Structure 1
Amino acid sequence: MDTESVDWALKTTRAVRRRLDLGRPVDDQIILDCIDVAEQAPTGGNQSSRRWIVVRDPEIKQELARLYQEAGGLFFTEARDQLEGTGHPREPMMRSAAHLVEHLAEVPVIVIPVIVGRHDGSGAPGLFDSVIQSAWSFCVALRARGLGSTWTTAVLAKAPELKELLGIPDGVTEIAMLPVAWTKGTDFRPAPRSPAREITFFDGYGRICESGPGTALRMADGPGMVVEVDIAAHPDVVWAAITDINLPAQFSDEFNGADWDEGFDGPALGATFTGRNHLEALGHWEVTSFVDVLEPNGAFGWCTSDPDNPGARWRFEIQPLVGGGTRLLFRLFLGPGPSGLTMFIEQNPDKEHGMIVNRLQHHRVNMQRVVDGIRDHLQ
């Protein structure tokens, strides 16, 4: 199998809106070929329950466009108008989404995958888990043939009207609406995404590893932990909170006191601050920390003890959320330099994995307390 071609099709199957060619006809057979490909996707109990509605009738497409606009399209057009010319990170996406709202009725074909059955909230398999993968296979098959689409679901808020328009029985569930057309050019590229190492957890939620297998933890592999929380506050506000080191320190059992170097009034690469612990159970200690990551409104991080060979590396990351708010991540990597933990590991090398697991679990509780505390402070 040509894995390079398969991977490229998967990586470049984009949400296509502005580059849909509204004037070029799409033959029925190419739609049917893509559905044949999609139907090879796994389905619960190997039961054929997926159905595909292909819409070409101009009047029906016009009604679908009206329902789509009423269900959520107005939000996209208003957001497009508000963000136009501001340079906001979501300006291109809103411009693209609004374009589809205004031109949906002109798309050559609209495909609506459905499945026999209604979701009852029981968690039993056989409904959405039997159709989502098939519908996405359809999108990838389009991409491989030079056509494009975008996954839209806003119209599902108008389910009764959609059922009446298309004659969909009550016992059938609508999954998505996929506008289909040839694309203007095929030079699509992979989108920016988090590397697998940052979002893949080994043997437990939040447990990460910079290298190595991840399941047999060693200090040399950079084991770590990440926690996260969504905050109903603007990214600028969250950024100000995480870079004011005394605020996160308020919620930390280990760093319940922190100060920038005397006379320093803000974060900068290479700047230092001192973290202090006052808990009797952990003993009294101080550690010098060095700012090694500074991406305004993106990431703020520091390492401990020695910037060239740190005992640990800590990092806050902020991500704006669709519809407002901010996702705050707090990330830790142990090592690679010496620390109290490495001293114990050197004395008991056969227990290295267990010691690391215990230390990460201790940090996880404390790190979660920090991000939860920041959230509660800002909301």
Structure 2
Amino acid sequence: MISLVPGIPHPSTFPFANLSFTVRNPSGGPDETIKLDQKLVSDAFQYDLAGGNAQLIDWFLELQERVHGFSGGHDWSCCVGNGSQDLIFKAFQVFTDPEDAVIIKSPSYAGVVGFLGAENHKLIEIPTDADGIIPAELEEILSSWPPGRPRPKVLYTSPTGSNPTGATCPESRKIEILLLAQRFDFVIFEDNAYYYLNYDLDPPSMARNYLGLEAEVTGASGRVVRFDSLSKVVSSGMRIGFLTGSRQVVQLVTRLTENTNLQPCTTTQVLALALFRHWGHDGFLAHGQAVAALYRRRRDLFCEAARKHLGALASWHAPAAGMFVWMKLRLPRGKMEDSFELMEQGALQNRVLALPGAAFFVQGAQTSHVRISFSLIPEDQIDEACARLANLVRWAWEKAGDDEGASDSSSSS
């Protein structure tokens, strides 16, 4: 067969002759150089499938089978996107229409709150605690749902190291939520960008999650759509996320890609494929454990400094995964009780900045919470950052005319 069909450029026109890169050894040995063969070099700069590089998808499916324990008998499939948020957005387009009700945890990831709000979805906020979504609260809302009103089709949740709270949902709660999904007929969007940063497990990153638990708990599968990301464990700039779900869901999401951005980036997919072929699944998991150990150390440094400087001025829970602490500042009543106002008026003067919690609530609700990120700050500045944050809280009390309220007598958090 002679084909006159493909409208793609001839590879001889690509100016890239060779491609190699040096990577750190996940086992701690010397750096290693990976040189791509000519076939991969050619593939790296050419159009590819809308659902992603077929070999990379196979590697991801093998990873999911190994980590989550589901067998090839399940009708699972996988597709790649330009980061997991690209895939989350498209999955919502598959499962919902504008103005549909959607269940989200409260507080929730600002990126999802933003695009759901832009499409006028009715966002049903479920209260959370240090272990994530509270199943009893979810059941209460769904049990008392008004007759005749369309029920929510989707629950969006991030069960590991959640952004912004750092909460990690225990297996017992996941089981309760899976049973509620079956009972009230909704789909769970499991956004697990921080799964491999689960540093309080031994070994790390092996928590059982909705995808692996579903068939065991409910006797069926297909109600969970899982989103993974390389952003937190390999590279954020590569913009590679992958969706795992039923074959039908993957086909529908891929069709959206075909008609919007055509395909995920081929170049970064090929780089990831070459890296993963070199590492194997063992090497990837070893790298994940090393990344988790780094964030565990940073978590410990931050919490130690917070206990030292903030004392009774704030409360928080030490996260078991991820890179965030959700901190409630003890602020004076009134305008300054809102952390957005606090940062707007006092951050520059006190030379410290944290993200106001309003960004993570529907309609930007006022809150005294801030999201603390300990991922990037130089470790030798963590102590000083907490000292400045304590000074910022004292400044708010002094501005309110209550010097006594600024007392920072020690208390545990």
Into which bin does the TM-score normalised by the smaller protein fall?
under 0.3
Specify the structure having the higher radius of gyration (Cα).
1
Of the two structures, which has the highest relative contact order with CA contacts closer than 8 Å and spacing of 6 or more?
A: 2
Q: Which structure has greater strand proportion? A: 1
